[in-house]
Amino acid sequence: MRLADLMGARVRDRDGREIGHVSDVRLREHPAPDAGPAGTVLKVEGLVVATRARGRLIAYDHRPVDGPWPLTRLARWAARNARWAPWPAVAGHEPPDRLGDPGTVRLAVPGTELVPLTDAHDDWNSTRPGPAAP
């Protein structure tokens, strides 16, 4: 599967309810086994599930916004209904019936178990590694 197959895909929860679409895919760097200190691999952390029918979340689904309070407030408002689906909650992907249509991502959990994206941003900030030691 390619990341492009996930972008825009419909998301259905464990019970088959459509809860939104994939707005973004979050990756994280991990040390590559047997590659030495400079080698890393990217692994999928999870999916941002947006409820808006069209468009993205004005790029606020990528990372939390720190800045002037009006911009921060706008970012939180834009992402208010977005949810975070960690990768272990993803049960599978079904390709579309026709070329150009979105596929479907199936979750192994009910949609009600997905945390709000803004809460996930808070967790990401609290676990972000600090600057490298000299």
Q: What pLDDT is attached to residue 61?
A: 47
Token output for 91: 């049960």
> What's the Cα-to-Cα distance from 113 to each of 83, 86, 110, 116, 125, rounded to whole Å?
9, 11, 6, 10, 21
Question: CB-based burial of residue 45 (10 Å sphere; 0-12 exposed, 13-18 middle, 19+ buried)?
Answer: middle
10-residue block means of pLDDT along the chain (134 residues)?
87 96 88 74 90 56 62 71 93 89 94 87 55 35
Pairing of strands 10-12, 104-107: parallel
Pairing of strands 90-94, 83-86: unpaired
Q: What pLDDT is attached to residue 55?
A: 46
Q: What pLDDT is attached to residue 123?
A: 62
Supply the pTM of this predicted model: 0.75
